[in-house]
Structure 1
Amino acid sequence: MIKQCLMTVVWIFVCFSIYAKNYVITDFGVVADSTILNTLKIQSVIDQASANGGGVIVIPKGVFYSGALFFKPNTTLKLEEGAVLKGSDHIDDYPLIPSRMEGKSIYYYAALINAYHIDDFSITGPGKIDGNGLEYWKAFWAYRKLRKEQDLPATNLDVHRPRLVFIWGCDHVLIKNVKLHNAGFWTTHLYQCTNVLIEGCDIRSPYQPVAAPSTDGVDIDVCKDVVVRNCYISVNDDGIAIKGGKGPTAHKLYENGIVENVLIEDCTFGFVHATLTMGSECLHAKNITIRNCKIDHDRTLLNMKMRPDTYQIYENIRVENITGRCRYLVTMRPWKQFFNMEGTSEKPFGMVQNIVIENCKLQCEHVGIIRGNANDSIHSFVLKDLDIQAKNEVLDTDYSEVQLENVKVNGVLFSKE
């Protein structure tokens, strides 16, 4: 199914590229100057292209400074070699509008690139979209430091920061061969999208000298049929995050839902907080596969966050043929950050079933942790044909449903403690 969807996405993109008119932004008075705000002029080019039946918005070589841009029907974005679309570091250049953040439908600040309910939308390189996030990151850490000194809580939304790319309600999306760097907040957020291909992209933000907080590489939120292929991802949070909603009544709300049929393959992950994460706002993840990837970080390969305030189902998750270095092969633990039962009498629980981790060769600090909340359940959780070098040889779990088949740790056939 995913393969057929991909063929459709690529075919539509090829046809559109052949026949669509190019709108080179410098032909319309947009100046390559990293100090001149070009938002209105670039938006005018997008609007004109859409009004004329559509076209490719071309960013040529040079640095172009802009706030939030909103793509319209039948428009796409291409960044040529040497092109940099650089985001404003003033939040006033990103309007506060209906949006989606952290599993809730809320008003939030627009991203640098926005596409709402536009089918056949694409972003292609080889140029760069640079979120220019340093001032947002510094403000975030200064605020966190102040709140800690005051012994007060802080949330990720308290310091207003724009995402780099937000695509909402689009069918047939292609993001290909583009550099997505230095997001102020999440890097690539897909919400209620279907038939998505992200391929050959370089997605990164720093963890030093100033860490870029919450700059997830790809957030997949209530989406179906998504492929992330042949990308490099190194960000100061999750590499790939599966989302969908949170809260004790989240499963009853129309804006939330399942993430289904996701394939992550042939990617390389540098520094991330986890290669693949279910949560921290995820209701139902189904048919998620990560395979043939290389990792080089000191965090977790597969991370499953179990919220005690949310009904959750994680099923048919496969991790195959992963090589490299990490801290944990797998972590599954209660996740109580911003716990909120919202005054309900609900009794949420999680179900984890049909999880397979196989054919991996890894250097780890620990084998893993597989634990949940009191009412969570596991059915068929298999670790198979693994070759692990680990300083801590213990798999911390009391679930009898966790099965080990030909798992070697430090060259010795492994069994649960």
Structure 2
Amino acid sequence: MNNKLTIAAWLLSSFIATSNLANAHNNTDKYDDPKRYNIAEMGAVGDSKTLNTVAIQAVIDKCAKNGGGTVVIPKGIFLSGSIFIKQGVNIEMLEGSVLKGSTDIKDYPKSSTRIEGHFEEWPSALINADKITHLRITGKGVLDGSGQPFWKEFYSKRSADPKTTNLSVPRPRLALIQNCKDVKIDGIAFTNSGFWNLHLYRCSNLTVNNCRFVAPDGKVPDDHAPSSDGIDVDSSQDITISNSFFSVGDDDIALKGSKGPFAMQDKDSPPVERIYIHDCVFEAGGGIMTCGSEATLVRDVKIERCITRKPVVMRLKLRPDTPQQYENISISDITMENGSAIFNVAPWSQYFDLKGQAPPTSIVRNIKISNIKGSCASLGKIVGNPGATTFGDISLSNVNVTAKNTTFDRDDFKGLVFENVVVNGIAMPTPEPTAKAVK
């Protein structure tokens, strides 16, 4: 009898101990799970009419104050002005959710911000993040910039005054991520941005995956969205862009830095380095990858397994007022579906200002483009600023395309090599320098 009681007691104590361990484990799991804050349950209204800037910001602030977590944007159209993410706060956009930007520029407060290679007072973006580590912006939702009124204002002013520049008409970006590390942006659709879609300034270890960048989205009558760059990688390092779709009214992916004759002295503009772009589709825009319109040091760029249906494969803008160095760029396995050109390397003189200085020099070297197939307008051109641009090794290999134009405009420099390049069924040797370059 005593033995039975002893065994029963032992079994009971073991059960209690096991239960306590399980409860402790479950409590730990719950503690580790990030807290979730649904904006619709905390005052925001997804009716596309109610301005939710204050309500959404209050949720972000509460989440941060309570130690961080995830701010959830549920199904609905939530109208908002600028919101500012804080450390520890992630954003998740559920399927059917839309964060829709206000069309009133006053809802985007101005501050000193990085824009076109310098700082000036400019409207904040719809989503803003500064000095944040381990940021996540994920889901299946849409960021809608409501860009049409901003586009119309720009074109109206430029029509009245042809000297109107991009910065003459303040317009909000969709997202500005700056001074951030360990960032993942996944699944988000960026549409109809009033200005740039996604601006990355001084970021590192950041990935953009499975996103869409579209402006205009085809639902509005405007056929062009000015300055609607897809992604601007500005003075950033270790950036990966993958499995994404681009159809915009300006550069698809632009690698940016500073500008002007003193650009190399700009401590706010470290080099753009270690950029990896792969498995993306480029429907419309200026180029798969563009260096400029303001850029200084760009190096160690790898692009592979992409499709272009119009944009240039590689576009290098050579400013006559800026010392530039573009090097170690590798592009491979590109399919051109009625694409534009493979190369567009040429002077870019829009809005340049030497500030009384002598024209600086620029260097383009160690460029390798290979495994290109499909149809295009032409192979393009490689032309520098006269007397100021030095070209190093540039190679084009394993190409089989049909082209509407077989001419290739190039400067006279050593190092250009065409290897196994077939155009319209005919092997194309390394082109001789164009007549104007020889003179």
Shared fold (TM-score, shorter chain, > 0.5): yes
Contact 2:70 2:90 in 1 (8 A): yes
Equivalent residue for 2:331, pick from 313, 319, 340: 319
Q: 1:240 to 1:224 in 2, by over 3 A?
A: same
Partner of 2:353, secondary structure, is coil
Displacement of 1:229 after TM fit?
0.4
Partner of 1:106, secondary structure, is strand
Partner of 1:132, secondary structure, is coil
Correspondence 1:278 to 2:304: no
Between Structure 1 and Structure 2, whose CA radius of gyration is higher? 2
Correspondence 1:354 to 2:376: no
Displacement of 1:324 after TM fit?
2.0
Partner of 1:41, secondary structure, is helix
Correspondence 1:198 to 2:208: yes
CA distance in 1, matches of 2:44, 2:31: 22
Contact 2:68 2:88 in 1 (8 A): yes
Correspondence 1:123 to 2:137: yes
One-letter amino acid of the structure 1 residue matched with residue 243 of structure 2: N
Correspondence 1:178 to 2:188: yes
Aligned structure 1 segments of 4 or more residues deviating by more than 3 angstroms:
15-18
Equivalent residue for 2:168, pick from 154, 158, 161: 158
1:351-395 residue CA offsets vs partner (Å, 9 max, x unmatched)? 011000100103111111100012110110001111121111111
Partner of 1:141: 155
Partner of 2:332, secondary structure, is strand
Correspondence 1:52 to 2:63: no
Equivalent residue for 2:396, pick from 383, 388, 393: 383
Partner of 2:24: none
Displacement of 1:17 after TM fit?
12
Contact 2:191 2:217 in 1 (8 A): no
1:35-79 residue CA offsets vs partner (Å, 9 max, x unmatched)? 111101100110111011101110000010000000011001110
Correspondence 1:40 to 2:50: no
Q: Structure 1 stretch 280-289 or stretch 207-216: which is displaced more? A: 207-216
Q: 1:134 to 1:111 in 2, by over 3 A?
A: same
Higher relative contact order (CA 8 A, sep 6+): 1
Equivalent residue for 2:117, pick from 103, 111, 129: 103
Partner of 1:84: 98
Correspondence 1:70 to 2:84: yes
Q: Structure 1 stretch 345-354 or stretch 206-215: which is displaced more? A: 206-215
Q: 1:17 to 1:155 in 2, by over 3 A?
A: farther
Displacement of 1:308 after TM fit?
0.9
CA distance in 1, matches of 2:94, 2:74: 5
Partner of 1:135, secondary structure, is helix
1:184-228 residue CA offsets vs partner (Å, 9 max, x unmatched)? 100000000000100001111128731111110110000000000
Displacement of 1:89 after TM fit?
0.7
CA distance in 2, matches of 1:138, 1:280: 23
Displacement of 1:240 after TM fit?
0.5
1:164-185 residue CA offsets vs partner (Å, 9 max, x unmatched)? 0000000011000111111010
Matched positions, count = 397
One-letter amino acid of the structure 2 residue matched with residue 362 of structure 1: G
Q: Structure 1 stretch 206-215 or stretch 260-269: which is displaced more? A: 206-215
How large is the RMSD of aligned CA atoms in angstroms? 1.5
CA distance in 1, matches of 2:31, 2:157: 45
Q: 1:16 to 1:162 in 2, by over 3 A?
A: farther
Contact 2:134 2:182 in 1 (8 A): yes
Gaps of 5+ in 1: 1-14
Displacement of 1:18 after TM fit?
6.4
1:282-341 residue CA offsets vs partner (Å, 9 max, x unmatched)? 1011111111001111x4211000011001000001110000231211111011000101
One-letter amino acid of the structure 1 residue matched with residue 266 of structure 2: L
Contact 1:260 1:288 in 2 (8 A): yes
Equivalent residue for 1:93, pick from 101, 107, 115: 107
Displacement of 1:401 after TM fit?
2.1
CA distance in 2, matches of 1:346, 1:367: 33
Partner of 1:120, secondary structure, is strand
Partner of 2:35: 21
Partner of 1:213: 226
CA distance in 1, matches of 2:63, 2:378: 54
Q: 1:130 to 1:403 in 2, by over 3 A?
A: same
Equivalent residue for 2:427, pick from 394, 408, 413: 413
CA distance in 1, matches of 2:109, 2:69: 25
Contact 1:207 1:236 in 2 (8 A): no
Q: TM-score under structure 2 normalisation?
A: 0.88
One-letter amino acid of the structure 2 residue matched with residue 23 of structure 1: Y
CA distance in 2, matches of 1:17, 1:79: 23
Contact 1:263 1:289 in 2 (8 A): yes
